[in-house]
Chains A and B, each alone.
Chain A
Amino acid sequence: MILIPCPWCGSRDAGEFAYGGEPTPRPDPRTATREQWRGYLYLRNNVAGWTTERWYHRMGCRRYLTVQRNTVTNEVRQP
Chain B
Amino acid sequence: MKRQTRRLDRQPGEVIDRGSPLEFGWNGRSYPAYAGDTIASALAACGERVFSRSFKYHRRRGLLTASYTDPGCIVQVGDEPNVRGAHRLVTPGMDVRSQDTWPSLAFDVKAANELVGRFLPAGFYYKTFIRPRPLWPTYERVLRRFSHGGVVSPDPLSPELSSYDKRQVHPDVLVAGGGPAGMTAAVAAARAGARVMLVEEEHSLGGHLRWGDKADLAALHDLRSLLAASGVEVLTNSVVFGRYDHNHVAIVQRGLPHVYERLVKARAKTLVVSPGLIERPYVFAGNDVPGVMLSTAVRRLINLYAVKPGDRAVVLTANPQGDAAVVDLERAGVEVAHVVDARGGDDLVRVLGRGGVKGVELVGGHRIECDLVVTAVGWTAPLTLLTMAGTVAAYDSRAARYFPGTATLPDDVLPAGGVVGDGTLDELVAHADAVGREAARRAGSMSRREPAAEIPALPVDAHPELFHGPTHGIVDFSEDVSSRDLLTAVEEGYSSAELAKRYTTATMGPTQGKLESVNVVAIIAEATGRTISQTGTTTWRPPYAPVTLGALAGRHREPVRYSPMHPWHERHGAAPLVAGAWIRPDHYGDPAGEVLAVRERVGIIDVTPIGKLDLRGPDVPKLLNLLYVNRWSKLEVGRVRYGVMCAEDGVVLDDGVTGRLGDQHYLMSTTSSGAASVWEWVESWLQTEHPGWQVHVTPVTTSYASINVAGPRSRELLGRVVAEIDLTPQAFPYMHVRTGRVAGVDGCVLWRIGFTGELSFELHVPASYGLHVWETLLDSGNDLGVRAFGIEAQRILRLEKGHLIVGQDTDGLTQAFSAGLDGLIRLDKDDFVGRSELVWQAEAAAESRLVGLHPNDASVVPEEGSQLIEAGVICGRVTSSRWSPTLHRSICLAQVATEFAEPGTLVTVRLPDGRSVPATVTEHLASVDPEGARLRG
Which residues of A are in contact with B by a Cβ distance under 8 Å?
1-3, 13, 18, 20, 23, 26, 29-30, 32, 34, 37, 40-41, 54, 56, 58, 62-64, 73-74, 76
Contacts and interface: CB of A to CB of B under 8 A. Distances in A.
B836 interface: yes
Contact of A56 (B245, B248, B684): B684
Given A3-B246, A41-B649, A29 B683 contact: no
B263 to A, nearest CB: 13
Given A18-B680, A30-B830, A37-B837, A2 B245 contact: yes
A75 to B, nearest CB: 9
Contacts of A73: 390
Given A41-B648, A62-B683, A64-B683, A2 B246 contact: yes
Contact of A32 (B267, B830, B836): B836
B246 A74 contact: yes
A30 B683 contact: no
Nearest to A31: B836
B7 to A, nearest CB: 48
Given A1-B248, A13-B248, 9 more contacts: A1-B245, A18-B680, A23-B688, A26-B648, A29-B830, A29-B831, A32-B836, A41-B649, A56-B684
Interface in B679-697: 680, 683-684, 687-689
B688 A64 contact: yes
Contact of A1 (B244, B649, B683): B244
B562 interface: no
Contacts of B687: 63-64
A3 B248 CA distance: 9
Contacts of B680: 18, 56, 58
A26 B689 contact: yes
A73 B245 CA distance: 8
A1 B835 CA distance: 38
Given A32-B836, A40-B648, A56 B683 contact: yes
A40 B834 CA distance: 12
A20 B688 CA distance: 11
A60 to B, nearest CB: 12
Interface in B554-589: none
Nearest to A18: B680
28 contacts: A1-B245, A1-B246, A1-B248, A2-B248, A18-B680, A20-B684, A23-B688, A29-B830, A29-B831, A29-B836, A30-B830, A30-B831, A32-B836, A34-B840, A37-B836, A40-B648, A41-B648, A41-B649, A56-B680, A56-B683, A58-B680, A62-B683, A63-B687, A64-B683, A64-B684, A64-B687, A73-B390, A74-B246
A79 to B, nearest CB: 14
Interface in B657-716: 680, 683-684, 687-689
Contacts of A34: 840
Contact of A54 (B244, B248, B688, B840): B688
Q: Shortest 9 CB-CB distances between A and B: which pairs?
A: A64-B687, A74-B245, A3-B246, A2-B245, A29-B836, A1-B248, A37-B836, A2-B246, A29-B831
A34 B569 CA distance: 51
Contacts of A2: 245-246, 248
A73 B246 CA distance: 10
B12 to A, nearest CB: 45
Interface in B606-657: 648-649
Contacts of B245: 1-2, 74
Contacts of B267: 3, 13
Of A37, A63, A74, most B-chain CB atoms within 10 Å:
A37
B85 to A, nearest CB: 34
Contacts of A40: 648
A6 B474 CA distance: 53
Contacts of B648: 26, 40-41
A20 B687 CA distance: 13
Contacts of B835: 29
A18 to B, nearest CB: 7
Contacts of B688: 23, 54, 64
Nearest to B839: A29
B323 to A, nearest CB: 45
Nearest to A32: B836
Nearest to B689: A26
A57 to B, nearest CB: 10
B444 to A, nearest CB: 13
A29 B390 CA distance: 45
A67 B244 CA distance: 20
A54 B683 CA distance: 13
A18 B246 CA distance: 18
Contacts of B649: 41
A64 B840 CA distance: 31
Nearest to B677: A18
B648 to A, nearest CB: 6
A30 B680 CA distance: 26
A51 B830 CA distance: 33
B161 to A, nearest CB: 28
Nearest to A64: B687
Contacts of B840: 34
Interface string B808-835: 0000000000000000000000110001
Contacts of B246: 1-3, 74, 76
B408 to A, nearest CB: 11
A71 to B, nearest CB: 12
A34 B840 CA distance: 8
A76 B246 CA distance: 9
Contacts of B390: 73
A35 to B, nearest CB: 12
A58 B683 CA distance: 10
Contacts of B830: 29-30
A26 B834 CA distance: 11
Nearest to B837: A37
Interface in B227-272: 244-246, 248, 267
A18 B840 CA distance: 31
Contacts of A63: 687
A74 to B, nearest CB: 4
Interface string B190-224: 00000000000000000000000000000000000
B724 to A, nearest CB: 36
B629 to A, nearest CB: 13
A3 B649 CA distance: 31
Nearest to B647: A41
A26 to B, nearest CB: 7
Contacts of A29: 830-831, 835-836
B410 to A, nearest CB: 8
A61 B684 CA distance: 13
Contacts of A76: 246
Nearest to A23: B688
Contacts of B836: 29, 32, 37
A41 B833 CA distance: 12
A30 B683 CA distance: 24
A34 B683 CA distance: 27
A13 B680 CA distance: 19
A72 to B, nearest CB: 10
A26 B685 CA distance: 11
A58 B267 CA distance: 20
Contacts of A37: 836-837
A66 B530 CA distance: 49
Contacts of B831: 29-30
Contacts of B683: 56, 62, 64
A23 B688 CA distance: 9
A56 B677 CA distance: 12
A16 B840 CA distance: 38
A4 B835 CA distance: 34
Nearest to B830: A30
A2 B412 CA distance: 14
A37 B831 CA distance: 14
Nearest to A58: B680
A67 to B, nearest CB: 13
Contacts of A64: 683-684, 687-688
